Amino acid sequence: MNIMDEAGLRRILSQNIKRFRKMKGLSQEKLAEKTCISTNYLSDIERGRGWVSPFSLVKLANALEVEAFELFRPTEAAPADVSSMVNKCLEDFSSSLRVSFEKSLADGARKIRQNL
């Protein structure tokens, strides 16, 4: 059984944050401002040198207008074995767990919005 290492997961996350940020036409400075994350920290995340807390993950997903789990979905640029492994995990994620996960993320997003 293949297990994804932290570096592979971090690479996928950093690529997706950068990709979604550019798709939205946001600079690192603007995204950092929208999420109350420092520009240096965001830069570290996008270079795969910083790790994201669940709280920051929700803030980034909201600012990028994507579901948090989409930030972990491999793109074609990801190695095939890593991509297939993550996609299989997402497919295998049971409906009830996915609903629970999405509800938790939505609750976190709502709390963030209330504090803004």
- What confidence score (pLDDT) does residue 93 get? 60
Do the domain assignments include residue 11? yes
- What confidence score (pLDDT) does residue 97 get? 66
Expressed as residue numbers, the domain containing 27 is 6-115
Do the domain assignments include residue 34? yes
Q: What domain count does the chain have? A: 1
The fraction of the chain above a pLDDT of 70, given in percent, is: 72
Calculate mean pLDDT across residues 102-106.
Answer: 73
- Give residue for tokens 């579901």: 67
Do the domain assignments include residue 88? yes
16-20, 76-80, 82-86, 101-105 — which is least confidently predicted?
76-80
- What confidence score (pLDDT) does residue 100 get? 72
Identify the CATH number of the domain in which residue 67 sits. 1.10.260.40
Task: Give the pLDDT confidence of 17-74 residue by residue, as tens digits.
Answer: 999 999 999 999 999 999 999 999 999 999 999 888 899 999 999 999 999 989 988 8
Do the domain assignments include residue 32? yes
Stronger pLDDT, 4 or 25, i.e. the higher one: 25
Do the domain assignments include residue 1? no
Task: Give the pLDDT confidence of 21-36 residue by residue, as tens digits.
Answer: 999 999 999 999 999 9
